[in-house]
Structure 1
Amino acid sequence: MSAKYRLEITKGEEVRYVSHLDYMRSIERAVRRSKLPAAYSEGFNPHMKIAFASALSVGVASEAEYMDIELTHELDPAAMGEALARHLPPGIAVRRLRPVSARHAALMAVVNLAAYRISLPLPAAAAGPAREAVSRFNAAAAVPYIKENPKGKREIDVKTYVSEVSATATADGMELALAVRITPTGSIKPAEVLKVLVDNFALPADPDAALVTRTGLFVADGTSRISPLDI
Structure 2
Amino acid sequence: MADPRLFRLRVTYSKSGRLAMLSHLEVARALERTVRRAGLPFAVTNGFSPHMRIAFGAALPVGVGGNAEFFDIFLTSYLAPKKALEALRNFSAPDLMPTACEYVEPSAAAASVACPVSTYEALLSASVGGLEIPDTVEVVRKKKRKVLEVREFLVGDVCVSGNSVVFTLQAKPTGSLRADIFLDACIDLLKINGVAPNDLCIVSINRIAQNSSD
Amino acid of the structure 2 residue aligned with 1:47: H
Cα deviation for residue 209 of structure 1 reads: 4.4
**Which of 116, 129, 132 matches 1:131?**
129
Closer/same/farther in 2, CA of residues 199 and 14 from structure 1, 3 Å limit: closer
Give the corresponding residue for 1:78.
82
| 1:9-35 alpha-carbon deviations (Å, 9 max, x no partner) | 110214111111111111111111111
Cα distance in structure 2, aligned partners of 1:147 and 1:207: 21
Cα distance in structure 2, aligned partners of 1:108 and 1:185: 14
Unaligned 5+ residue runs, structure 2? Answer: none
Amino acid of the structure 2 residue aligned with 1:152: K
Number of aligned residue pairs: give it: 205
Give the corresponding residue for 2:209.
216
Cα distance in structure 1, aligned partners of 2:148 and 2:106: 36
TM-score, scaled relative to structure 1? 0.82
Closer/same/farther in 2, CA of residues 207 and 162 from structure 1, 3 Å limit: farther
| 1:106-125 alpha-carbon deviations (Å, 9 max, x no partner) | 12233120111111111xxx
| 1:121-140 alpha-carbon deviations (Å, 9 max, x no partner) | 11xxxx4xx324x1x43xxx
Give the alignment's Cα RMSD to 1 decimal: 1.8
| 1:39-69 alpha-carbon deviations (Å, 9 max, x no partner) | 1111122221111111111111110101111
Closer/same/farther in 2, CA of residues 149 and 207 from structure 1, 3 Å limit: farther
Give the corresponding residue for 1:46.
50
Amino acid of the structure 1 residue aligned with 2:149: D
TM-score, scaled relative to structure 2? 0.88
4+ runs of 1 displaced by more than 3 Å?
205-209
Is the CA contact 1:26–1:89 (under 8 Å) kept in the aligned structure 2?
Answer: no
| 1:63-108 alpha-carbon deviations (Å, 9 max, x no partner) | 0101111011111111111111100112122221111221212122
**Which of 10, 31, 37 matches 2:35?**
31
Identity %: 27
